[in-house]
Amino acid sequence: MPASMSRDEILQWLTRNGWSPDRGIEEKAREFISEVVAESEKEGFSVIPFDAAVRFITTYGLLKLTHPSDPESKLITNPTGGYEGDFREIAELSEELGKRLFRIGYDLPDGGIFVVAEDGEFYCIHHTGAYCLGSDEFNFFSNWVRGDLQSV
């Protein structure tokens, strides 16, 4: 397992993968969020966007982040990517945690779905279970790279 990444290392990794500090995709983020809300309603498990989700999607949305030591492994920050039935699983985890969740992306090839909670914590819903990935985006990115997922 790679060592924990510092904030500077995470910023460098994000930059290598197309992010920049002045990047913002406000208009596209609104479209993505509307699409996610509509999809959740269609599945019968409505989600409501909140500040932490909007902020993450606006800042990091539409990135394809390649794992630094495994080019086949990617973290895709597209909240519209997911699978049929995701919103049921998101609703179940939300109920278990007692806080609202919003889908923010997924990873390949594992197929884990990433969500952010209204308090800014990040989680992964995977076929093997639900995992916490950290209390902010830097913990989230670092823990994803390290494969450090704590069971919920």
| The model's pTM | 0.94
* Cα 2–chain centre separation: 20
- Omega of the bond leading into 109 within 30 degrees of 0 (cis): yes
What single DSSP character describes residue 4? P
Q: What is the pLDDT of residue 1?
A: 43
What would the pLDDT profile of 83-93 be if each residue is shown by its tens digit? 788 999 999 99
| 109: pLDDT strictly greater than 70 | yes
Antiparallel, parallel or unpaired: β 122-126 and 129-134: antiparallel
Q: Strand pairing partners for 123?
A: 115, 132
3-state secondary structure of 2: coil
Mean pLDDT of the chain: 93
Domain ranges of the chain: 7-151
| Mean pLDDT confidence for 21-49 | 93
For Cα atoms 89, 48, 87, give the angle at the middle one, nearest 5 degrees: 15
